[in-house]
Structure 1
Protein backbone atom coordinates (compact mmCIF):
# COMPACT_ATOMS: atom_id res chain seq x y z
CA UNK A 1 0.00 0.00 0.00
CA UNK A 2 1.35 3.41 -0.99
CA UNK A 3 -0.45 6.31 0.61
CA UNK A 4 0.58 9.18 2.83
CA UNK A 5 -0.22 10.19 6.37
CA UNK A 6 -2.04 13.22 4.96
CA UNK A 7 -4.33 10.88 3.00
CA UNK A 8 -5.41 9.21 6.25
CA UNK A 9 -6.01 12.58 7.92
CA UNK A 10 -8.10 13.80 5.01
CA UNK A 11 -10.13 10.61 4.90
CA UNK A 12 -10.89 10.76 8.64
CA UNK A 13 -11.93 14.41 8.36
CA UNK A 14 -14.22 13.73 5.38
CA UNK A 15 -15.72 10.67 7.09
CA UNK A 16 -16.45 12.64 10.29
CA UNK A 17 -17.93 15.58 8.40
CA UNK A 18 -19.87 13.41 5.93
CA UNK A 19 -18.90 15.91 3.27
CA UNK A 20 -15.79 16.29 1.09
CA UNK A 21 -15.79 20.09 1.11
CA UNK A 22 -16.08 20.42 4.87
CA UNK A 23 -13.48 17.69 5.41
CA UNK A 24 -11.12 19.41 2.99
CA UNK A 25 -11.63 22.72 4.80
CA UNK A 26 -10.62 21.09 8.10
CA UNK A 27 -7.38 19.98 6.47
CA UNK A 28 -6.79 23.32 4.73
CA UNK A 29 -7.11 21.75 1.27
CA UNK A 30 -9.18 22.47 -1.80
CA UNK A 31 -12.10 20.01 -2.26
CA UNK A 32 -10.56 18.80 -5.54
CA UNK A 33 -7.27 17.97 -3.76
CA UNK A 34 -9.13 16.12 -1.00
CA UNK A 35 -11.15 14.12 -3.54
CA UNK A 36 -7.99 13.17 -5.42
CA UNK A 37 -6.28 12.02 -2.22
CA UNK A 38 -9.26 9.85 -1.27
CA UNK A 39 -9.41 8.39 -4.80
CA UNK A 40 -5.69 7.52 -4.62
CA UNK A 41 -6.26 6.01 -1.17
CA UNK A 42 -9.06 3.80 -2.49
CA UNK A 43 -6.90 2.74 -5.43
CA UNK A 44 -4.09 1.86 -3.02
CA UNK A 45 -6.20 -0.30 -0.70
CA UNK A 46 -8.13 -1.79 -3.63
CA UNK A 47 -11.66 -1.15 -2.40
CA UNK A 48 -14.20 1.70 -2.26
CA UNK A 49 -14.19 3.45 1.10
CA UNK A 50 -16.94 6.01 0.48
CA UNK A 51 -20.34 6.03 -1.15
CA UNK A 52 -20.84 9.38 -2.92
CA UNK A 53 -24.24 11.04 -2.77
CA UNK A 54 -25.47 14.42 -4.05
CA UNK A 55 -25.54 15.84 -0.50
CA UNK A 56 -22.44 14.20 0.90
CA UNK A 57 -20.63 10.93 1.45
CA UNK A 58 -21.14 7.83 3.61
CA UNK A 59 -18.71 5.16 4.66
CA UNK A 60 -18.80 1.76 3.03
CA UNK A 61 -18.29 -1.30 5.22
CA UNK A 62 -14.62 -1.27 4.25
CA UNK A 63 -14.51 2.47 4.93
CA UNK A 64 -15.80 1.93 8.45
CA UNK A 65 -13.00 -0.55 9.15
CA UNK A 66 -10.41 1.77 7.62
CA UNK A 67 -11.51 4.87 9.52
CA UNK A 68 -11.35 3.09 12.88
CA UNK A 69 -7.82 1.86 12.20
CA UNK A 70 -6.82 5.28 10.83
CA UNK A 71 -8.04 7.02 13.99
CA UNK A 72 -6.02 4.68 16.18
CA UNK A 73 -2.91 5.15 14.02
CA UNK A 74 -3.24 8.94 14.11
CA UNK A 75 -3.78 8.89 17.88
CA UNK A 76 -0.67 6.76 18.37
CA UNK A 77 1.36 9.10 16.18
CA UNK A 78 0.15 12.07 18.20
CA UNK A 79 1.12 10.25 21.39
CA UNK A 80 4.54 9.57 19.85
CA UNK A 81 4.93 13.30 19.20
CA UNK A 82 3.94 14.09 22.79
CA UNK A 83 6.33 11.50 24.20
CA UNK A 84 9.22 12.87 22.15
CA UNK A 85 8.48 16.51 23.00
CA UNK A 86 10.29 16.48 26.37
CA UNK A 87 13.48 15.32 24.62
CA UNK A 88 13.34 18.33 22.31
CA UNK A 89 12.94 20.57 25.36
CA UNK A 90 16.05 19.31 27.10
CA UNK A 91 14.87 16.20 28.94
CA UNK A 92 17.87 14.16 30.01
CA UNK A 93 16.21 10.94 31.18
CA UNK A 94 12.99 9.02 31.73
CA UNK A 95 11.94 6.50 34.37
CA UNK A 96 8.77 4.39 34.41
CA UNK A 97 7.49 3.65 37.91
CA UNK A 98 4.64 1.28 38.80
CA UNK A 99 3.37 1.57 42.38
CA UNK A 100 0.42 0.48 44.49
CA UNK A 101 -2.27 2.91 45.61
CA UNK A 102 -0.83 3.31 49.10
CA UNK A 103 2.55 4.46 47.80
CA UNK A 104 1.04 6.84 45.26
CA UNK A 105 -1.41 8.38 47.71
CA UNK A 106 0.76 8.65 50.80
CA UNK A 107 4.48 8.51 50.13
CA UNK A 108 5.62 9.06 46.54
CA UNK A 109 4.38 12.66 46.02
CA UNK A 110 6.83 14.12 48.54
CA UNK A 111 9.67 11.82 47.52
CA UNK A 112 9.22 12.55 43.82
CA UNK A 113 9.18 16.27 44.60
CA UNK A 114 12.61 15.86 46.20
CA UNK A 115 13.81 13.92 43.16
CA UNK A 116 12.58 16.57 40.70
CA UNK A 117 14.24 19.28 42.77
CA UNK A 118 17.55 17.46 42.26
CA UNK A 119 16.92 16.39 38.64
CA UNK A 120 14.43 18.82 37.06
CA UNK A 121 14.97 17.66 33.47
CA UNK A 122 14.02 14.01 34.16
CA UNK A 123 10.50 12.81 33.35
CA UNK A 124 8.71 10.04 35.26
CA UNK A 125 5.76 7.95 34.13
CA UNK A 126 3.88 6.86 37.26
CA UNK A 127 1.11 4.25 37.07
CA UNK A 128 -0.95 2.51 39.75
CA UNK A 129 -0.98 -1.29 39.69
CA UNK A 130 -1.57 -4.23 42.03
CA UNK A 131 1.65 -5.42 43.69
CA UNK A 132 1.81 -8.77 41.87
CA UNK A 133 1.23 -6.98 38.52
CA UNK A 134 4.04 -4.57 39.37
CA UNK A 135 6.50 -7.41 39.95
CA UNK A 136 5.63 -8.93 36.57
CA UNK A 137 6.04 -5.57 34.84
CA UNK A 138 9.50 -4.97 36.33
CA UNK A 139 10.60 -8.52 35.46
CA UNK A 140 9.36 -8.04 31.87
CA UNK A 141 10.98 -4.61 31.56
CA UNK A 142 7.72 -2.68 31.17
CA UNK A 143 8.57 -0.73 34.32
CA UNK A 144 11.98 0.45 35.52
CA UNK A 145 11.04 0.65 39.19
CA UNK A 146 8.27 -0.93 41.25
CA UNK A 147 6.90 -0.02 44.67
CA UNK A 148 5.12 -3.01 46.18
CA UNK A 149 3.79 -4.58 49.37
CA UNK A 150 4.59 -8.29 49.08
CA UNK A 151 5.28 -11.09 51.56
CA UNK A 152 7.46 -13.03 49.09
CA UNK A 153 10.16 -11.82 46.73
CA UNK A 154 11.01 -12.66 43.11
CA UNK A 155 14.46 -14.13 42.32
CA UNK A 156 14.92 -11.91 39.26
CA UNK A 157 14.43 -8.70 41.27
CA UNK A 158 16.31 -6.81 43.94
CA UNK A 159 14.11 -5.53 46.77
CA UNK A 160 14.93 -2.72 49.20
CA UNK A 161 12.86 -1.40 52.13
CA UNK A 162 10.93 1.79 51.38
CA UNK A 163 8.25 2.62 53.98
CA UNK A 164 6.66 0.83 56.92
CA UNK A 165 2.88 0.93 57.00
CA UNK A 166 -0.18 -0.90 58.25
CA UNK A 167 -3.79 -1.22 57.16
CA UNK A 168 -6.19 -0.13 59.91
CA UNK A 169 -9.93 0.05 60.31
CA UNK A 170 -11.64 3.44 60.53
CA UNK A 171 -14.99 3.61 62.31
CA UNK A 172 -17.24 6.44 63.49
CA UNK A 173 -16.51 7.27 67.14
CA UNK A 174 -20.07 6.19 68.06
CA UNK A 175 -19.80 2.85 66.23
CA UNK A 176 -19.98 -0.45 68.12
CA UNK A 177 -16.44 -1.34 66.99
CA UNK A 178 -14.98 1.99 68.13
CA UNK A 179 -14.34 0.75 71.68
CA UNK A 180 -12.16 -2.16 70.49
CA UNK A 181 -8.39 -1.86 70.15
CA UNK A 182 -8.20 -4.83 67.75
CA UNK A 183 -10.71 -6.35 65.34
CA UNK A 184 -10.60 -9.18 62.81
CA UNK A 185 -11.44 -8.53 59.19
CA UNK A 186 -14.18 -11.17 59.40
CA UNK A 187 -15.96 -9.14 62.09
CA UNK A 188 -16.06 -6.19 59.71
CA UNK A 189 -17.75 -7.96 56.80
CA UNK A 190 -21.28 -7.44 58.10
CA UNK A 191 -20.80 -3.66 58.15
CA UNK A 192 -21.33 -1.15 55.31
CA UNK A 193 -17.96 -0.14 53.84
CA UNK A 194 -16.66 3.08 52.38
CA UNK A 195 -14.25 1.84 49.72
CA UNK A 196 -11.99 2.98 46.94
CA UNK A 197 -13.37 2.62 43.44
CA UNK A 198 -13.46 -0.72 41.66
CA UNK A 199 -10.10 -1.46 40.07
CA UNK A 200 -8.11 0.30 42.78
CA UNK A 201 -5.45 -1.98 44.22
CA UNK A 202 -6.75 -1.80 47.81
CA UNK A 203 -10.34 -2.43 46.73
CA UNK A 204 -9.29 -5.58 44.86
CA UNK A 205 -7.02 -6.66 47.73
CA UNK A 206 -9.83 -6.43 50.33
CA UNK A 207 -12.37 -8.12 48.06
CA UNK A 208 -9.99 -11.04 47.55
CA UNK A 209 -9.56 -11.48 51.32
CA UNK A 210 -13.32 -11.23 51.83
CA UNK A 211 -13.86 -13.97 49.24
CA UNK A 212 -11.28 -16.15 51.00
CA UNK A 213 -13.51 -15.93 54.08
CA UNK A 214 -16.59 -16.86 52.02
CA UNK A 215 -17.84 -13.33 52.49
CA UNK A 216 -18.03 -10.07 50.60
CA UNK A 217 -17.61 -6.35 51.15
CA UNK A 218 -20.92 -4.55 51.61
CA UNK A 219 -19.78 -1.43 49.76
CA UNK A 220 -22.07 1.49 50.52
CA UNK A 221 -20.01 4.22 48.83
CA UNK A 222 -17.03 4.13 46.47
CA UNK A 223 -14.69 7.12 46.40
CA UNK A 224 -11.46 8.12 44.68
CA UNK A 225 -9.13 8.57 47.66
CA UNK A 226 -8.32 7.95 51.31
CA UNK A 227 -9.32 11.44 52.42
CA UNK A 228 -12.85 10.89 51.16
CA UNK A 229 -13.00 7.57 53.03
CA UNK A 230 -11.99 9.29 56.28
CA UNK A 231 -14.54 12.08 55.88
CA UNK A 232 -17.40 9.71 55.10
CA UNK A 233 -16.49 7.40 57.97
CA UNK A 234 -16.40 10.39 60.33
CA UNK A 235 -19.87 11.36 59.12
CA UNK A 236 -21.21 7.94 60.13
CA UNK A 237 -21.76 6.61 56.60
CA UNK A 238 -19.85 3.36 57.25
CA UNK A 239 -16.45 1.90 58.09
CA UNK A 240 -13.32 1.82 55.96
CA UNK A 241 -9.83 0.35 55.76
CA UNK A 242 -6.90 2.61 54.91
CA UNK A 243 -3.13 2.70 55.47
CA UNK A 244 -2.24 4.23 58.82
CA UNK A 245 -0.02 6.80 57.07
CA UNK A 246 -3.08 8.14 55.22
CA UNK A 247 -4.62 9.32 58.50
CA UNK A 248 -4.07 12.99 59.24
CA UNK A 249 -3.85 14.75 62.57
CA UNK A 250 -7.13 16.52 61.82
CA UNK A 251 -8.88 13.11 61.89
CA UNK A 252 -8.17 12.66 65.61
CA UNK A 253 -11.33 12.92 67.67
CA UNK A 254 -13.52 12.49 64.58
CA UNK A 255 -13.13 8.72 64.05
CA UNK A 256 -11.76 5.61 65.72
CA UNK A 257 -8.60 3.92 64.42
CA UNK A 258 -8.60 0.18 65.13
CA UNK A 259 -5.86 -2.37 64.43
CA UNK A 260 -6.67 -5.40 62.30
CA UNK A 261 -5.56 -8.77 63.66
CA UNK A 262 -4.70 -10.26 60.26
CA UNK A 263 -0.98 -10.60 59.40
CA UNK A 264 -1.67 -9.15 55.94
CA UNK A 265 -2.60 -5.83 57.54
CA UNK A 266 1.14 -5.11 57.89
CA UNK A 267 1.83 -3.57 54.49
CA UNK A 268 5.47 -2.60 54.49
CA UNK A 269 6.48 -1.18 51.13
CA UNK A 270 9.55 -2.18 49.13
CA UNK A 271 11.20 -0.78 46.02
CA UNK A 272 12.05 -3.41 43.41
CA UNK A 273 14.27 -3.27 40.33
CA UNK A 274 15.71 -5.87 37.99
CA UNK A 275 18.90 -7.59 39.12
CA UNK A 276 20.09 -7.59 35.49
CA UNK A 277 18.43 -4.68 33.67
CA UNK A 278 18.51 -4.79 29.89
CA UNK A 279 19.65 -1.15 29.68
CA UNK A 280 21.60 1.22 31.86
CA UNK A 281 19.53 4.05 33.31
CA UNK A 282 21.40 6.48 35.53
CA UNK A 283 18.24 8.22 36.71
CA UNK A 284 16.51 4.97 37.60
CA UNK A 285 19.41 4.25 39.92
CA UNK A 286 19.36 7.79 41.32
CA UNK A 287 15.64 7.51 42.02
CA UNK A 288 15.99 4.15 43.76
CA UNK A 289 18.83 5.48 45.91
CA UNK A 290 16.73 8.48 46.93
CA UNK A 291 13.62 6.40 47.72
CA UNK A 292 15.60 3.97 49.83
CA UNK A 293 17.48 6.54 51.89
CA UNK A 294 16.71 6.06 55.61
CA UNK A 295 14.26 8.63 56.95
CA UNK A 296 15.90 11.34 58.99
Structure 2
Protein backbone atom coordinates (compact mmCIF):
# COMPACT_ATOMS: atom_id res chain seq x y z
CA UNK A 1 0.00 0.00 0.00
CA UNK A 2 1.31 3.42 -0.94
CA UNK A 3 0.99 6.27 1.50
CA UNK A 4 -1.67 8.64 0.16
CA UNK A 5 -1.88 12.29 1.18
CA UNK A 6 -5.65 11.98 0.79
CA UNK A 7 -5.67 9.40 3.58
CA UNK A 8 -3.63 11.69 5.82
CA UNK A 9 -6.08 14.52 5.21
CA UNK A 10 -8.94 12.11 5.94
CA UNK A 11 -7.41 11.33 9.33
CA UNK A 12 -7.17 15.04 10.11
CA UNK A 13 -10.78 15.59 9.03
CA UNK A 14 -11.92 12.81 11.38
CA UNK A 15 -9.87 14.29 14.21
CA UNK A 16 -11.25 17.78 13.67
CA UNK A 17 -14.90 16.61 13.44
CA UNK A 18 -14.60 13.86 16.08
CA UNK A 19 -16.53 11.48 13.86
CA UNK A 20 -15.92 9.00 11.08
CA UNK A 21 -19.20 10.02 9.47
CA UNK A 22 -18.46 13.75 9.52
CA UNK A 23 -14.84 13.17 8.51
CA UNK A 24 -16.05 11.18 5.51
CA UNK A 25 -18.49 13.94 4.58
CA UNK A 26 -15.74 16.59 4.77
CA UNK A 27 -13.54 14.42 2.55
CA UNK A 28 -16.45 13.87 0.11
CA UNK A 29 -16.40 10.06 0.36
CA UNK A 30 -18.82 7.49 1.71
CA UNK A 31 -18.65 6.21 5.28
CA UNK A 32 -17.80 2.73 3.96
CA UNK A 33 -14.89 4.09 1.86
CA UNK A 34 -13.72 6.08 4.85
CA UNK A 35 -13.73 3.00 7.11
CA UNK A 36 -11.83 0.97 4.50
CA UNK A 37 -9.13 3.62 4.12
CA UNK A 38 -8.63 3.92 7.88
CA UNK A 39 -8.52 0.12 8.20
CA UNK A 40 -5.79 -0.10 5.53
CA UNK A 41 -3.77 2.59 7.31
CA UNK A 42 -4.03 0.66 10.56
CA UNK A 43 -3.00 -2.54 8.80
CA UNK A 44 -0.05 -0.80 7.17
CA UNK A 45 1.42 0.26 10.49
CA UNK A 46 -0.07 -2.58 12.58
CA UNK A 47 -1.69 -0.15 15.02
CA UNK A 48 -5.09 1.18 16.02
CA UNK A 49 -5.55 4.85 15.21
CA UNK A 50 -8.92 5.49 16.86
CA UNK A 51 -11.03 4.19 19.71
CA UNK A 52 -14.78 4.21 19.11
CA UNK A 53 -17.31 5.44 21.67
CA UNK A 54 -20.94 6.53 21.69
CA UNK A 55 -20.29 10.16 20.73
CA UNK A 56 -17.64 9.48 18.05
CA UNK A 57 -13.94 8.55 17.98
CA UNK A 58 -10.80 9.50 19.86
CA UNK A 59 -7.17 9.15 18.85
CA UNK A 60 -4.97 6.47 20.32
CA UNK A 61 -1.36 7.33 21.16
CA UNK A 62 -0.35 5.88 17.77
CA UNK A 63 -3.06 7.98 16.15
CA UNK A 64 -1.74 11.14 17.81
CA UNK A 65 1.75 10.39 16.48
CA UNK A 66 0.43 9.78 12.98
CA UNK A 67 -1.61 13.00 13.15
CA UNK A 68 1.48 15.06 14.02
CA UNK A 69 3.39 13.65 11.06
CA UNK A 70 0.37 13.99 8.79
CA UNK A 71 0.16 17.71 9.55
CA UNK A 72 3.84 18.17 8.65
CA UNK A 73 3.61 16.10 5.47
CA UNK A 74 0.49 17.89 4.24
CA UNK A 75 2.14 21.24 4.91
CA UNK A 76 5.18 20.16 2.92
CA UNK A 77 2.89 18.93 0.16
CA UNK A 78 1.27 22.37 -0.09
CA UNK A 79 4.69 24.01 -0.15
CA UNK A 80 5.77 21.67 -2.94
CA UNK A 81 2.68 22.55 -4.96
CA UNK A 82 3.43 26.26 -4.53
CA UNK A 83 7.04 25.73 -5.60
CA UNK A 84 6.02 23.76 -8.69
CA UNK A 85 3.22 26.10 -9.76
CA UNK A 86 5.46 28.64 -11.55
CA UNK A 87 7.04 25.90 -13.64
CA UNK A 88 3.67 24.39 -14.55
CA UNK A 89 2.44 27.83 -15.59
CA UNK A 90 5.52 28.41 -17.75
CA UNK A 91 6.53 31.43 -15.68
CA UNK A 92 9.43 33.27 -17.28
CA UNK A 93 12.73 33.84 -15.51
CA UNK A 94 14.69 36.89 -16.61
CA UNK A 95 18.35 36.91 -15.59
CA UNK A 96 21.23 39.28 -16.20
CA UNK A 97 24.74 37.84 -16.40
CA UNK A 98 27.55 40.41 -16.20
CA UNK A 99 30.68 39.25 -18.02
CA UNK A 100 33.97 40.47 -19.39
CA UNK A 101 34.58 40.52 -23.14
CA UNK A 102 36.41 37.17 -23.23
CA UNK A 103 33.55 35.34 -21.53
CA UNK A 104 31.03 37.01 -23.77
CA UNK A 105 32.72 36.22 -27.07
CA UNK A 106 34.55 32.93 -26.46
CA UNK A 107 32.63 30.88 -23.89
CA UNK A 108 29.01 31.91 -23.52
CA UNK A 109 28.03 31.55 -27.22
CA UNK A 110 28.90 27.87 -26.91
CA UNK A 111 27.13 27.29 -23.59
CA UNK A 112 24.04 29.47 -23.55
CA UNK A 113 22.16 27.82 -26.46
CA UNK A 114 22.29 24.50 -24.62
CA UNK A 115 20.93 26.06 -21.42
CA UNK A 116 18.21 28.03 -23.19
CA UNK A 117 17.03 24.97 -25.11
CA UNK A 118 16.79 23.02 -21.87
CA UNK A 119 14.94 25.90 -20.16
CA UNK A 120 12.53 27.42 -22.71
CA UNK A 121 10.98 29.92 -20.25
CA UNK A 122 14.30 31.55 -19.38
CA UNK A 123 15.62 34.80 -20.83
CA UNK A 124 19.25 35.82 -20.27
CA UNK A 125 20.68 39.29 -20.84
CA UNK A 126 24.45 39.60 -21.14
CA UNK A 127 26.00 42.81 -19.87
CA UNK A 128 29.66 43.30 -20.81
CA UNK A 129 31.82 45.24 -18.37
CA UNK A 130 35.33 45.41 -16.96
CA UNK A 131 35.93 42.86 -14.20
CA UNK A 132 36.38 45.52 -11.51
CA UNK A 133 33.10 47.13 -12.61
CA UNK A 134 31.34 43.77 -12.29
CA UNK A 135 32.73 43.32 -8.79
CA UNK A 136 31.55 46.79 -7.78
CA UNK A 137 28.07 46.18 -9.21
CA UNK A 138 27.66 42.90 -7.31
CA UNK A 139 28.99 44.40 -4.08
CA UNK A 140 26.49 47.27 -4.41
CA UNK A 141 23.62 44.91 -5.19
CA UNK A 142 22.94 46.20 -8.72
CA UNK A 143 24.14 42.88 -10.21
CA UNK A 144 23.57 39.32 -9.02
CA UNK A 145 25.99 37.15 -10.99
CA UNK A 146 29.15 37.82 -12.98
CA UNK A 147 32.05 36.25 -14.87
CA UNK A 148 35.31 38.04 -14.08
CA UNK A 149 39.04 37.68 -14.57
CA UNK A 150 40.72 35.89 -11.67
CA UNK A 151 43.27 38.73 -11.60
CA UNK A 152 40.69 40.82 -9.73
CA UNK A 153 39.91 40.06 -6.08
CA UNK A 154 37.20 40.97 -3.60
CA UNK A 155 36.98 39.74 -0.01
CA UNK A 156 33.24 40.48 -0.03
CA UNK A 157 32.32 38.11 -2.86
CA UNK A 158 32.30 34.35 -3.35
CA UNK A 159 33.94 32.90 -6.48
CA UNK A 160 33.95 29.57 -8.30
CA UNK A 161 36.41 28.63 -11.07
CA UNK A 162 34.77 28.69 -14.49
CA UNK A 163 37.61 28.35 -17.05
CA UNK A 164 41.28 28.96 -17.78
CA UNK A 165 41.52 32.06 -19.97
CA UNK A 166 45.16 32.96 -20.78
CA UNK A 167 46.04 35.83 -23.10
CA UNK A 168 48.46 35.50 -26.03
CA UNK A 169 50.19 37.82 -28.47
CA UNK A 170 49.29 37.30 -32.13
CA UNK A 171 51.52 38.60 -34.92
CA UNK A 172 52.13 38.17 -38.66
CA UNK A 173 53.97 34.97 -39.51
CA UNK A 174 57.05 36.91 -40.66
CA UNK A 175 57.12 39.25 -37.64
CA UNK A 176 60.24 39.52 -35.45
CA UNK A 177 58.30 38.08 -32.48
CA UNK A 178 56.85 35.13 -34.41
CA UNK A 179 59.46 32.60 -33.30
CA UNK A 180 59.86 34.01 -29.81
CA UNK A 181 59.52 31.99 -26.63
CA UNK A 182 56.89 33.14 -24.11
CA UNK A 183 57.41 36.86 -23.61
CA UNK A 184 56.48 39.66 -21.25
CA UNK A 185 54.24 42.53 -22.24
CA UNK A 186 57.16 44.96 -21.92
CA UNK A 187 58.93 43.21 -24.80
CA UNK A 188 56.05 43.92 -27.17
CA UNK A 189 55.37 47.60 -26.53
CA UNK A 190 57.92 48.90 -29.04
CA UNK A 191 55.79 47.49 -31.89
CA UNK A 192 52.58 48.95 -33.34
CA UNK A 193 49.38 47.27 -32.17
CA UNK A 194 45.98 46.46 -33.52
CA UNK A 195 43.45 46.69 -30.71
CA UNK A 196 39.81 46.48 -29.74
CA UNK A 197 37.70 49.61 -29.54
CA UNK A 198 38.33 51.75 -26.46
CA UNK A 199 35.12 50.67 -24.72
CA UNK A 200 36.12 46.97 -24.65
CA UNK A 201 37.02 45.83 -21.14
CA UNK A 202 39.88 43.58 -22.31
CA UNK A 203 41.57 46.44 -24.12
CA UNK A 204 41.23 48.64 -21.05
CA UNK A 205 42.91 45.92 -18.99
CA UNK A 206 45.83 45.66 -21.46
CA UNK A 207 46.28 49.43 -21.46
CA UNK A 208 46.29 49.45 -17.67
CA UNK A 209 49.15 46.93 -17.66
CA UNK A 210 51.08 49.06 -20.16
CA UNK A 211 50.66 52.16 -17.98
CA UNK A 212 51.98 50.23 -14.97
CA UNK A 213 55.12 49.67 -17.06
CA UNK A 214 55.33 53.39 -17.80
CA UNK A 215 54.43 52.90 -21.46
CA UNK A 216 51.56 53.55 -23.81
CA UNK A 217 50.39 51.33 -26.66
CA UNK A 218 50.81 52.58 -30.23
CA UNK A 219 47.67 51.67 -32.17
CA UNK A 220 47.58 51.53 -35.92
CA UNK A 221 43.95 50.46 -35.93
CA UNK A 222 41.12 49.66 -33.53
CA UNK A 223 38.44 47.12 -34.45
CA UNK A 224 35.25 45.86 -32.80
CA UNK A 225 36.01 42.12 -32.44
CA UNK A 226 38.70 39.45 -32.38
CA UNK A 227 37.92 38.12 -35.87
CA UNK A 228 38.54 41.51 -37.48
CA UNK A 229 41.75 41.92 -35.50
CA UNK A 230 43.02 38.48 -36.56
CA UNK A 231 42.40 39.25 -40.22
CA UNK A 232 44.24 42.57 -40.06
CA UNK A 233 47.18 41.09 -38.11
CA UNK A 234 47.47 38.27 -40.65
CA UNK A 235 47.79 40.95 -43.36
CA UNK A 236 50.83 42.40 -41.58
CA UNK A 237 49.38 45.59 -40.07
CA UNK A 238 50.57 45.02 -36.49
CA UNK A 239 50.44 42.79 -33.43
CA UNK A 240 47.58 42.24 -30.98
CA UNK A 241 46.64 40.59 -27.69
CA UNK A 242 43.62 38.32 -27.37
CA UNK A 243 42.47 35.27 -25.39
CA UNK A 244 44.25 32.08 -26.41
CA UNK A 245 40.90 30.41 -26.99
CA UNK A 246 40.03 33.05 -29.59
CA UNK A 247 43.46 32.77 -31.21
CA UNK A 248 43.14 29.00 -31.58
CA UNK A 249 39.68 29.37 -33.10
CA UNK A 250 40.72 32.10 -35.56
CA UNK A 251 44.03 30.53 -36.59
CA UNK A 252 42.04 28.12 -38.73
CA UNK A 253 40.80 31.11 -40.73
CA UNK A 254 43.74 33.52 -40.81
CA UNK A 255 47.51 33.02 -41.17
CA UNK A 256 49.10 34.45 -38.03
CA UNK A 257 51.39 33.22 -35.28
CA UNK A 258 50.71 33.43 -31.56
CA UNK A 259 53.11 33.62 -28.62
CA UNK A 260 52.27 32.92 -24.99
CA UNK A 261 52.50 35.87 -22.60
CA UNK A 262 54.00 35.59 -19.13
CA UNK A 263 52.72 37.21 -15.96
CA UNK A 264 49.76 36.65 -13.66
CA UNK A 265 47.62 39.21 -15.50
CA UNK A 266 47.99 37.22 -18.77
CA UNK A 267 47.68 33.70 -17.33
CA UNK A 268 44.29 34.45 -15.94
CA UNK A 269 41.25 32.38 -15.05
CA UNK A 270 37.61 33.23 -15.48
CA UNK A 271 35.67 33.09 -12.22
CA UNK A 272 31.94 33.02 -11.58
CA UNK A 273 31.16 35.41 -8.74
CA UNK A 274 28.25 36.40 -6.52
CA UNK A 275 27.77 37.88 -3.06
CA UNK A 276 26.49 34.48 -1.89
CA UNK A 277 25.67 31.62 -4.22
CA UNK A 278 23.30 30.12 -1.63
CA UNK A 279 21.56 33.48 -1.31
CA UNK A 280 20.81 33.80 -5.03
CA UNK A 281 17.28 33.43 -6.36
CA UNK A 282 16.49 29.86 -7.42
CA UNK A 283 16.79 30.64 -11.15
CA UNK A 284 20.27 32.14 -10.65
CA UNK A 285 21.35 29.17 -8.50
CA UNK A 286 20.27 26.75 -11.22
CA UNK A 287 22.09 28.78 -13.90
CA UNK A 288 25.24 29.01 -11.75
CA UNK A 289 25.28 25.24 -11.25
CA UNK A 290 25.00 24.75 -15.01
CA UNK A 291 27.91 27.11 -15.76
CA UNK A 292 30.25 25.55 -13.21
CA UNK A 293 29.35 22.04 -14.41
CA UNK A 294 30.74 22.99 -17.84
CA UNK A 295 34.29 23.58 -16.51
CA UNK A 296 35.72 20.22 -17.59
CA UNK A 297 33.97 20.42 -20.95
CA UNK A 298 35.53 23.82 -21.65
CA UNK A 299 38.99 22.61 -20.68
CA UNK A 300 38.78 19.80 -23.25
CA UNK A 301 37.77 22.15 -26.09
Same fold (TM over 0.5): yes
Which stretch of structure 1 is more off in the superposition, 169-178 or 139-148?
139-148
How many Å apart are 1:165 and its aligned residue? 1.5
Who is 2:271 aligned against? 270
Query: Closer, same or farther in 2 for the Cα pair 1:152/1:227, shift >3 Å?
Result: closer
1:87-126 residue pairs with structure 2 within 5 A? 91-126=91-126
Who is 1:142 aligned against? 142
Whether the 8 Å contact between 1:193 and 1:220 is mirrored in structure 2 is yes
1:138-287 residue pairs with structure 2 within 5 A? 138-249=138-249, 251=251, 254-275=255-276, 281-287=281-287
Whichever of the two has the greater Rg, that structure is 2
How many Å apart are 1:239 and its aligned residue? 0.2
SS of 1:265's equivalent in the other structure is coil
Q: Normalised by the size of structure 2, how large is the TM-score?
A: 0.65
| C-alpha distance in 2 between matches for 1:163 and 1:276 | 18
Q: Report Cα offsets for 1:64-89 as digits up to 9, x if no partner.
A: xxxxxxxxxxxxxxxxxxxxxxxxx9
Whether the 8 Å contact between 2:156 and 2:275 is mirrored in structure 1 is yes
The answer for unaligned runs of 5 or more in structure 1 is: 1-88
Whether the 8 Å contact between 2:158 and 2:277 is mirrored in structure 1 is no
Which stretch of structure 1 is more off in the superposition, 95-104 or 112-121?
112-121
Q: Report Cα offsets for 1:104-128 as digits up to 9, x if no partner.
A: 0100112111110111111112111
SS of 2:245's equivalent in the other structure is helix
How many Å apart are 1:152 and its aligned residue? 4.9
Who is 1:291 aligned against? 291
Query: Closer, same or farther in 2 for the Cα pair 1:292/1:229, shift >3 Å?
Result: same
How many Å apart are 1:249 and its aligned residue? 4.9
| C-alpha distance in 2 between matches for 1:187 and 1:200 | 23
SS of 1:156's equivalent in the other structure is coil
The answer for unaligned runs of 5 or more in structure 2 is: 1-88
| C-alpha distance in 1 between matches for 2:227 and 2:235 | 12
How many Å apart are 1:167 and its aligned residue? 0.4
| C-alpha distance in 1 between matches for 2:101 and 2:249 | 21
How many Å apart are 1:287 and its aligned residue? 0.8
Who is 2:10 aligned against? none
How many Å apart are 1:91 and its aligned residue? 4.8
SS of 2:207's equivalent in the other structure is helix
Whether the 8 Å contact between 1:153 and 1:159 is mirrored in structure 2 is no
Whether the 8 Å contact between 2:230 and 2:250 is mirrored in structure 1 is no
How many Å apart are 1:155 and its aligned residue? 2.8
| C-alpha distance in 1 between matches for 2:183 and 2:129 | 28
1:35-114 residue pairs with structure 2 within 5 A? 91-114=91-114
Q: Report Cα offsets for 1:27-79 as digits up to 9, x if no partner.
A: xxxxxxxxxxxxxxxxxxxxxxxxxxxxxxxxxxxxxxxxxxxxxxxxxxxxx
Q: Normalised by the size of structure 1, how large is the TM-score?
A: 0.66
